């Protein structure tokens, strides 16, 4: 019996079996695992178990979860690693987005000739970087910022227009062996190490993702001048995260076009697509930051300082409220002022310990990456009450990897004609289709942001601030704009 006859027979038997409808049922999941569940678990077919007595096919055989690697417990399916890399990168960047500087905008020095404190700088300082100046001995600065970020793109692909696609490979479920006795073939549910035999394993499902993701962070902060040179501080963020994701799935019948009900979401309409959606929201305490800065070299209007920020894992990483580990950031700060202009440059390194959020159960967890940090910019004192600020903020996440969109060949066997089939099949035509899909690659991930903002002193020791952040590259997870507003008071 030919492979063509065998394939047709398998298709007809499976299609002829009475089918029952099975729709994807949304389950309550934490935000860090929302995307893997949506893409890898929720996309299932209509396929009733084959009853006993069907020649050549095991009782209970069904295609129901053959494209759902989590339901099929097939974690070695290539799409699992792609989705894991995508989810880990999104979750890590989501939960480690930079917070505004909590350094006091009003700085003071003690003037011995006057016997009192006076302003240490005409500028109110940067918003997303640090300057060397400290706020002054026994001075206290406290306030709050509100920051809202809506993410738009990932690696240059828009999140909300369906331009991000994943291709679900059929489970390596079975094997067709030919015999010289009726029925001429035997289908077994023992994987054979390929997705080529039986031929129906060559079908694919295209899963098109559309996602809205937003974080809102309200951060309370305080800084205290322990000495003229040493500041200590605290930042307590409260985070609200919303994720709404939809996948539109369609079957790419590379092999089963002759029997379209073999792999179908609706056997009465084999060309029907399936739309699955998951949405979630979480609110709570984020990662608390302990800060210190020491001004070790003084020059007029600035000098050199060193700072240490310790980010504690107080936020729930399973709901993307925190990064999932301890991060210690060491920064060297240089700043100066001349006339109405101030300049500042920061260079630092963040050492991290812990695992990134968003890793799939059963797979190795990705380590929370160390970072190389750098920023620089200028301040312009437009008036004694108004400072305008511009900065460039950079982060290089070491070993975080990238996802590059590449053209990939997908091999399958058409059970027609004669000749060498794929995977050692005795007859058939080995065929390849090329599709664009993300491919994980090792290396660093560099994220660049530009900032523009102002700080205004309406009266007394009050400061009101506003900033706009915008991306300067296509790398990683991006927001076209992040709006930050704040208020603080110096005591």
pLDDT at 191: 84
Distances (CA, A) of 211 to 152, 240, 248, 419: 9, 17, 11, 45
Cis peptide upstream of residue 183 (ω within 30 degrees of 0): yes
- Check residue 256 and report its DSSP letter: G
* The two three-digit tokens of residue 86, written as one number: 């995508």
Who's near 231: CB < 8 A, 6+ residues apart? 103, 104, 134, 135, 223, 224, 225, 291, 292, 293
Strand partners, 326: 353
pLDDT tens per residue across all 491 residues of the chain: 333 343 333 333 333 322 222 233 334 678 999 999 999 999 988 876 776 656 667 767 788 888 989 888 888 899 999 999 999 999 999 888 888 765 667 676 655 565 566 666 778 889 889 999 998 888 899 999 999 999 999 999 999 998 999 999 999 888 877 665 556 677 777 888 888 888 888 999 999 999 999 999 999 999 999 998 999 999 999 999 999 999 999 999 998 888 888 899 998 898 999 999 999 999 999 999 999 999 999 888 889 999 999 999 999 999 999 998 999 999 999 999 998 999 999 999 999 999 888 777 777 788 899 999 999 999 999 999 999 999 999 999 999 999 999 999 998 888 765 666 676 565 678 889 999 999 999 999 999 999 999 999 999 889 999 999 999 999 999 999 999 999 999 88
Burial of 460 (0-12, 13-18, 19+ CB in 10 A): exposed
> What pLDDT, on the 0 to 100 scale, is given for residue 20?
26
Give the integer Cα–Cα distance in Å for 329 and 289.
10
- Give CA–CA dist 242/215, Å, rounded: 6
The C-alpha atoms of residue 204 and residue 269 are separated, in whole angstroms, by: 18
- Within 10 angstroms of residue 115's Cβ, the number of other Cβ atoms is 7
CA atoms within 13 A on the CB side of 382: 10
Residue 203 DSSP symbol: -
User: How far is the CA of 486 from the CAs of 59, 120, 220, 382, in angstroms?
Assistant: 66, 22, 10, 19
Q: Can you tell me which residue has the tokens 């990662």?
A: 287
Tokens linked to 187: 């289908």
Give the strand pairing for 386-397 and 371-383. Answer: antiparallel
- Distance between CA 231 and CA 222 in Å, rounded? 10
- Find where tokens 């935000």 sit: 31
Distance of alpha carbon 225 from alpha carbon 245, whole angstroms: 46
DSSP symbols for 5-22: HHHHHHHHHHHHSPP---
Give the count of beta carbons closer than 10 Å to the beta carbon of residue 319. Answer: 22
DSSP state of 491: -
Q: Are residues 89 and 155 in contact, defined by beta-carbon separation less than 8 angstroms?
A: no
Determine the longest span between alpha carbons in the chain, in angstroms. 109
| pLDDT for the residue numbered 429 | 81
Instruction: Dig out the tokens for 118 from the structure.
Output: 């006076």
Q: Are 91 and 356 in contact (CB under 8 A)?
A: yes
Cα torsion angle, 56, 58, 61, 66, sign: negative
Q: Does the CA dihedral 410-416-417-419 come out positive or negative?
A: positive
Q: Is the distance from CB of 278 to CB of 269 less than 8 angstroms? A: no
Domains and their CATH numbers in the chain: 3-490 (2.40.160.40)
Residues 167/203, Cβ–Cβ less than 8 Å: no
Confidence at residue 27, expressed as pLDDT on a 0 to 100 scale: 40
DSSP for 404-417, written as a single string:
EEEEEEEEEEE-SS
Whether the Cβ atoms of residue 324 and residue 357 lie closer than 8 Å to each other: yes
Note whether 377 and 162 are within 8 A (CB): no
């Amino acid at each position: 019996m030919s492979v063509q006859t065998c394939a047709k027979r398998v298709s007809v038997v499976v299609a002829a079996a009475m089918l029952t409808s099975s729709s994807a049922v949304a389950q309550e999941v934490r935000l860090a695992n929302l995307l893997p569940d949506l893409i890898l678990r929720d996309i299932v077919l209509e396929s009733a178990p084959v009853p006993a007595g069907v020649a050549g096919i095991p009782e209970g055989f069904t295609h129901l979860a053959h494209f759902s690697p989590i339901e099929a417990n097939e974690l070695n399916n290539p799409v699992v690693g792609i989705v894991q890399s995508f989810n880990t990168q999104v979750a890590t960047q989501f939960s480690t987005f930079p917070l505004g500087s909590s350094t006091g905008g009003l700085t003071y020095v003690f003037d011995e000739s006057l016997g009192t404190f006076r302003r240490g700088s005409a500028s109110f300082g940067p918003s997303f970087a640090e300057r060397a100046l400290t706020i002054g001995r026994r001075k206290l600065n406290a306030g709050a910022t509100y920051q809202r970020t809506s993410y738009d793109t990932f690696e240059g692909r828009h999140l909300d227009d369906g331009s991000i696609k994943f291709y679900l490979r059929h489970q390596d479920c079975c094997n067709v062996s030919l015999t010289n006795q009726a029925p001429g073939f035997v289908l077994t549910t023992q994987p054979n190490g390929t997705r080529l035999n039986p031929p129906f394993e060559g079908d694919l499902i295209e899963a098109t993702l559309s996602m809205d993701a937003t974080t809102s962070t309200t951060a309370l902060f305080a800084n205290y001048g322990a000495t003229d040179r040493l500041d200590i501080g605290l930042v307590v963020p409260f985070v609200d995260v919303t994720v709404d994701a939809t996948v539109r799935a369609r079957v790419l019948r590379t092999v089963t076009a002759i029997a379209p009900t073999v792999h179908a979401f609706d056997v009465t309409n084999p060309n029907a697509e399936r739309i699955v959606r998951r949405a979630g929201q979480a609110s709570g305490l984020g990662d608390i930051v302990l800060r210190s800065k020491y001004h070790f070299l003084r020059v007029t209007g600035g000098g050199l300082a060193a700072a240490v920020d310790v980010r504690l894992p107080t936020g729930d990483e399973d709901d993307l409220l925190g990064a999932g580990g301890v991060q210690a950031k060491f920064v060297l700060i240089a700043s100066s002022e001349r006339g109405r202009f101030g300049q500042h440059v920061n260079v630092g390194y963040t050492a991290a310990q812990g695992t990134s959020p968003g890793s799939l159960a059963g797979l190795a967890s990705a380590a929370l990456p160390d970072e190389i940090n750098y920023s620089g910019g200028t301040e312009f004192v437009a008036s004694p009450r108004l400072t305008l600020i511009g900065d460039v903020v950079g982060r290089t996440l070491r070993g975080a990897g990238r996802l590059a969109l590449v053209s990939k060949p997908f091999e399958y066997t058409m059970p027609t004609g004669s000749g060498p089939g794929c995977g050692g099949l005795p007859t058939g035509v080995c065929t390849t289709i090329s599709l664009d899909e993300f491919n994980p690659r090792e290396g660093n991930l560099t994220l660049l942001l530009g900032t523009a903002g102002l700080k205004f002193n309406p009266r007394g020791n009050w400061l009101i601030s506003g900033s706009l952040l915008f991306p300067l590259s296509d790398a990683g997870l991006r927001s076209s704009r992040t709006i930050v507003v704040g208020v603080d008071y110096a005591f």
